[in-house]
Chains A and B, each alone.
Chain A
C-alpha cells in the first residue's frame, strides 16, 4: 500500500426525488482513497454507502461536489466519458452477481475483457478465483458462491484501477460469503489494486486497511486498521 492518493472526494452531495420527497443520500462527503488499499464502507441501510460507491464507480452523477481520480474530476464527466471511465478504470462486483444467464462463466468474463484496452487473460482470471474447471458452465449451473466468484473474475479481468464491491456477500450464506471475501482479498494481495467494499456487516471491517463509517449520508468516522484479519478468521 502506497500513500499516493487515488481518489480525492470533496464536498460530495447526492439528492434525488422519491415521489414528492427529496432524499438526501449524501450530505457533503470528503474522503481520500489511496492506491492499493482495501477500504470498507460500513453503515446501515440508507446511510449512503452504496450511493457513494456508485458515484465513485461512475454509475451515477453527484448533485454537487467532486470525485477526482488522480486529479481528473469524474463528476464533470458526461455520459460518454463515464462509460469510458467505467470501461477502463473500474471493476464492479454486485450483491446479486448480475451475470448474463445466456453466457457461460468464461463468456461472461470475456464480455468484460473484450470491451477494455488491457484486459487480463480470461482463463487466468477464472483460475485465480478457482473456477478454471467451471468455465463452460452457465450461471444457472453454478452455486451462488461460484456465481459471485465469476463476477469477481469478470471485474478483475478488466485489469481496473479500482475494484468496487457492493455488498458482495449480501446474497450468500456464511461459509460462501467468507470464501468470496477470501477471493477478494487474494485478488487484492496479488494484483495490488485498490478495493472498496460496501457492507452493513461490521465483521467484514476486520479485514480492511481502513474502515469508513457512514450514517445518514455523512461520514461518521474513518479508522485505520494496522493489522487486518484474514477473511477466514472473521466471525459474524
Chain B
C-alpha cells in the first residue's frame, strides 16, 4: 500500500512534468535507435560474413604471379603452415555486352569441372554449375547480370588473347572474394554495370590464355596457428622464378578489407554514438530531478518525518529516471529494429552476401536497455543523493530565499551598469544555476557536433570524387597493354578517331621497403609534364614529376617513415627484375589507393627498359567514347580499357542518396537533442522564475517583455554552445578521419565555410523553435496564484 502511494506520486510527477519527461525520453529513444540499429546491422553483417567465408572456404592468403606450372603447387603445399592451396587463372579482359556502351571489364576466373571442397568457392544464385558440354559456358556474378539485364542463356563477347569469344551464361553466382566487388584499389565503390566476374571452365581458360597446366593466381588456406607473413615470404622465395607480382593475407584482400573496415566503424559507432545521446539524456535528467527535489523539499522532509527510509525516497526519485529510460527504450527499440533492417538493406547495395537479414537479438535489446537505464540512473544519482543530506526538520520548512550572492559583477561593473535590468536577471540566473546553463551549452554543442559530422560525411564523398576525378585524373579512359611496348604504341592509340590526347604511362606493382617496414603499392610512371594526371602536395599545389626518384603519398610516407630525401628499396612485382634503391623526392596528398609516382622515363631506366610504356591515359571527345572503347578493345596488344568516369557509374547516385538519408537522420537527432536540452532547462528556469515573472506582470510589464526575460538566456547560451561545438565537431572529424585511415583510402577533412554557416543556421532554427515553445509557457502563468502562494 505504501509503495503504491509512492508509485502514484511518481506517475503524477511524470504527468506534471510531461513535456520534460517526453524530451528526456526522446533523447534516450535516439540513443536506443542508434544502438539497436547499428548493433543489429553489425551482428547481421558479421554473422553473414563469417558463415559465408566458412562455408565457401574463403582463402587465407593470395598470390598473383606471372605463370607457374601446376607442379609448383607442391612447392606451396609442402610449406608447414599451408593446409591447402589452389592454383587458378585470373585475367581481366574487355567485354562487349549488348545495350552497354561503356568499357566493360570482365575478370575471368578459372573454375574446375568439379568443385569439391574448393577454396574460394562460389555461391550459385541461379542456373547450374556448367551443366552442358560446351567450353564457352560461364557463370557470371548476379549483380552484373541484374545491372545489364542479362539472363541465363544470354551471351556476350569477350576479347581473349586478341580473339573474340562468345560466352553463354549458364548460371549466376556470388563469391566471398567479391562481397565488395571492386576491381582494383583505385576503384573505391563497386560498379556492377561495368565490372563482371566471369567464372569459366578451367580447360577453356587454359586453352584461351595458353596456360595449359599452369596458373597465375594462387589462393590457399593456412593451418591453425600459422603466420601468414612467414608463409607468404616462403612462397615468394619458392615461386620467385615464376614472377610473383603481389602477395597478401586475407586482411589485405580488397573486398575483405572494405568489409572489415565497415564492420570496425559500425562497431565503434554503435557504442560511441548512443553513449553521447545517453550522456545528454543523463544531463537532462539531472537538471530536471535537481529542480524536482528542490521543489519537493518539503515533501521529502515530510516523507522523512513520516518515517520513510531515506533510500526508499532516493529510490522514488531514481525510478523517475528509470521511467524515462523505459519510455525512451520502447519506441527506441522498435524504431531501432526498423532502421536496422533499413541499414542492412542499404548494406546490400554495397555488399553482396548470399543472405543478409536483420536479426532480432534479445541480448542486444537487454544491453541497450541496461545501458540507457544505467545512464539515466547516473543522471539521477547526484540529484537524488542530495536527499540523503536533508534534515527533516529543516526540509519541512520552506527554503530561505536564494541569494544573489554569486553575482560576479564587481570586476565588470562598467558593463554591468549598462546592462538592462531584465538582462541582469538573466545573467544572475545563469551564474546562479551554472549547472543548468552548462547543460544548455553542452546539449547545443553536442547537437552541433552531430550536425558537423553529418554534413562532413556528405562532404567526404563529394570531396574525394572531386579531388580524384576533377583535380588528379583528368583522363576519360585508361588503356592497359598486355606487355611492355615502345612509345609508338601510344601514337597508335592517339591516332584513333575522337582521341584528343594520349599519354603513355608505365605502371607495375611493387613492394617498398624501408628497414623492417614494407608496403605493397602501385608504381605509376607519368610523363613529366602530364596534363591528364596531376598530383598535388598536401597544400594542394601541383607537383611536377622530378627527373629521377619517387613521389610518394603522405600515408605511405608515414607508414614507412619516409620524407623527401629518404632512400627506399623498390622490389618490382615483375619477372626477373631485381630490387633497387630509389630516392623519395616529394610527398603528395592522396585519398584513394596507394600509388607511388615517378617520371615515366626514369622508371623505364629503373627497370632497364628505356622508352617502355605499358598503358596510356586518354582524353577523348565525349560523343566518341563508346566507339573508341569498342575500337580499342579490338586493338592488338590491348589488355583492358577502363573508362574513368565509369569507375563511379550509377553508384554516385546511390551513395549520395544514402548520405542524404543519413544526414537527414543525423539532423533529426541533432534537433531532438538541441530541443530537449533547451526546452528542459528553460522549463526549469521558467518554473523557478514564475513568481518573478508574475511580479513583473503585476508591475505592468508587457507579456512580450516578460517572455523575453524568461527566454533571454537561450540564444546567448545556444551561441556559446554552437561555438564550442563547431571546433569540437571539426576535431572529431579529424580524429575519425585518422581513425578510419587505411592503406586503401583516407578520409579528407573538409568543412567549407558554407557548411559551417548551414550548421549555425540550422542550430539557430532549433533554438528559435525551442524558444517559441518556452515563450508559450510563460503565457500560461497564473499571476494571482503565483503571487499569493509561497513556493
Residues on A lying within 8 angstroms of B by beta carbon are: 50, 54, 57, 59-60, 79-80, 83-88, 90, 92, 94-96, 98-104, 107, 110-112, 114-116, 138-141, 154, 158, 166
Contact = CB atoms under 8 A, between A and B. Distances in A.
29 contacts: A50-B788, A59-B698, A59-B783, A79-B703, A83-B702, A86-B697, A86-B698, A92-B698, A92-B699, A96-B790, A98-B691, A98-B694, A101-B401, A101-B404, A102-B425, A103-B425, A104-B404, A111-B696, A111-B699, A114-B421, A115-B700, A115-B705, A116-B700, A138-B403, A140-B403, A140-B404, A140-B405, A141-B405, A158-B699
A87 B697 CA distance: 9
A98 B787 contact: yes
B404 A103 contact: yes
A92 B787 CA distance: 11
User: Can you list the 3 inter-chain pairs with the closest CB atoms, starting with the nearest?
Assistant: A87-B700, A140-B403, A102-B428
Contact of A86 (B407, B700, B705, B787): B700
Given A54-B784, A115-B700, A102 B691 contact: no
B485 interface: no
A59 B432 CA distance: 30
Contacts of B630: none
Contacts of A96: 787-790
B701 A87 contact: yes
A110 B421 contact: yes
B421 to A, nearest CB: 5
Contacts of B700: 83-88, 90, 115-116, 158
A59 B698 CA distance: 7
Interface string B430-472: 0010000000000000000000000000000000000000000
B402 interface: yes
B401 A111 contact: no
B704 to A, nearest CB: 10
B465 to A, nearest CB: 55
B400 interface: yes
A94 to B, nearest CB: 5
Contact of B787 (A88, A94, A107, A140): A94
B734 interface: no
A41 B120 CA distance: 99
A121 to B, nearest CB: 16
A110 B703 CA distance: 19
Nearest to B702: A83
Nearest to A91: B699
Given A86-B699, A115-B699, A115-B700, A102 B404 contact: yes
- Most A CB within 10 A of own CB, among B432, B699, B703, B790: B699
A101 B402 contact: yes
Given A50-B788, A59-B783, A79-B703, A100 B401 contact: no
B695 A100 contact: yes
B151 interface: no
- Most B CB within 10 A of own CB, among A60, A79, A102: A102
A46 to B, nearest CB: 13
Contacts of B783: 59
Given A83-B702, A100-B692, 18 more contacts: A54-B784, A59-B698, A83-B703, A86-B698, A92-B699, A95-B788, A96-B788, A96-B789, A98-B692, A101-B404, A110-B421, A111-B699, A115-B705, A116-B700, A138-B407, A140-B400, A140-B401, A140-B405
Nearest to A111: B421
B784 A103 contact: no
B358 interface: no
Contacts of A100: 425, 692, 695-696
- Most B CB within 10 A of own CB, among A80, A112, A116: A112
B777 interface: no
Contacts of B694: 98
B424 interface: yes
A109 B691 CA distance: 16
Interface string B152-167: 0000000000000000
A101 B689 CA distance: 9
B405 to A, nearest CB: 7
Contacts of B682: none
Contacts of B697: 83, 86
Contacts of A88: 700
A129 to B, nearest CB: 17
